[in-house]
Amino acid sequence: MENELVRSEKLKIVGEMAAGVAHEIRNPLATIRGFMQLFDSSSEAAKENRKYYNLIIKEIDRVNDICNDLMNIANPNGTKKAQDTNLELVLDDMLLLHQSQFRHRDIRVNTYFHGRLPSVHLDVSRIQQVFLNLIQNAAEAMDGGGGRLTISTTFRKNDQIIVITFADTGEGMDEETLSRLGTPFYTTKETGTGLGLTTSYRIIEELGGQVLVTSERGIGTTFTVHIPAVPENGMDSQGENTP
Ligand code: ADP
Ligand code: MG
């Protein structure tokens, strides 16, 4: 078993490297996409080759998405954008974004919210990514047969931890998949990037929290996110020393 600290440090280095490379790739990509669009309206040949044109644009956009995901593993804004945040409001927003997808996939959603969670000081866009990834994965795990997503929030008073669970009735995971969760680029999906959980784990680690998973093939999966309500002594909630 890999030591947790070593793993966390590795993830940090991989994240920073990946973000740098992704940043470099995005610029030429934008140029390619821009010139591709010129071909679209003007040339006759491009009209004939419409389907190839569309395919190229689609693939360019996919590379761009991967680059964005890679850049998000590292924390691009540092602690600059931290603000007091009500996590339940953020969850509500993220669920709203997915509403049409839920309807389309025949997924019912239940929320059991604590109602008076203490607010936490963090970068909203980072925690939004975590919630989006977990909700998106749950929805994808219930593709086809429909199902139920249950999101609950509680507050553990004794150690001041906010606990959020995402339970789905989707396809579940085998041992192999479970053991590899969070590894960059590990995906079982045809068009997956395998970066959603890598990024999410990194973000929760930055907050001094942790992510737990239980899953059973054919039954479903539960992700449990722990976020400390009060930052550790001498550290702010993004894991860096306060001045
Ligand atoms: P991606 O969604 O692009 O594949 P992720 O990092 O989000 O990448 O997830 C990695 C893998 O973990 C997925 O391909 C899937 O096999 C598994 N996984 C994640 N969440 C769930 C879930 N809720 N139910 C079943 N499998 C899951
Ligand atoms: Mg995903």
SS3 14: helix
β-partners of residue 123 are 82
Q: 66 C-alpha to center of ligand 1: Å?
A: 15
CA distance 146 to 96: 18
Which residues sit with their C-beta closer than 6 Å to ligand 1? 133, 137-138, 141, 168, 170-173, 177, 181, 186-189, 192-198, 221
Sign, CA torsion 103/151/70/193: negative
CB atoms within 10 A of CB 51: 8
214 close to 83: Cβ distance less than 8 angstroms: no
Please report the atom of ligand 1 found closest to the CA of residue 200.
6
Ligand nearest to the CA of 202: 1
ipTM score for this prediction: 0.99
Please report the atom of ligand 1 found closest to the CA of residue 182.
6
Strand (E) or helix (H) holding 108: strand 107-112
Q: Is the model's pLDDT at 94 over the cut of 80?
A: yes
73 close to 14: Cβ distance less than 8 angstroms: yes
> In degrees rounded to 5, what are phi and psi of residue 78?
55, -140
At position 180, the amino acid (one-letter code) is R
CB atoms within 10 A of CB 120: 22
SS3 74: coil
H helices within the chain, ranges in order?
Answer: 4-42, 44-48, 50-73, 87-97, 99-105, 124-141, 175-180, 196-206
Q: 188 C-alpha to center of ligand 1: Å?
A: 7
**pLDDT of amino acid 242:** 41
Average pLDDT over residues 21-35: 87
Atom 20 (ligand 1) nearest CA: 137
Q: Is the model's pLDDT at 114 over the cut of 50?
A: yes
All residues with CB under 5 Å from ion ligand 2: 137, 196
Question: Which range is most confident: 1-5, 40-44, 70-74, 97-101?
Answer: 97-101
Higher-confidence residue of 18 and 123: namely 123
pTM: 0.81
Per the prediction, the chain carries an average pLDDT of: 86
CA 136 from centroid of its chain's CA atoms: 8
Q: 189 C-alpha to center of ligand 2: Å?
A: 9
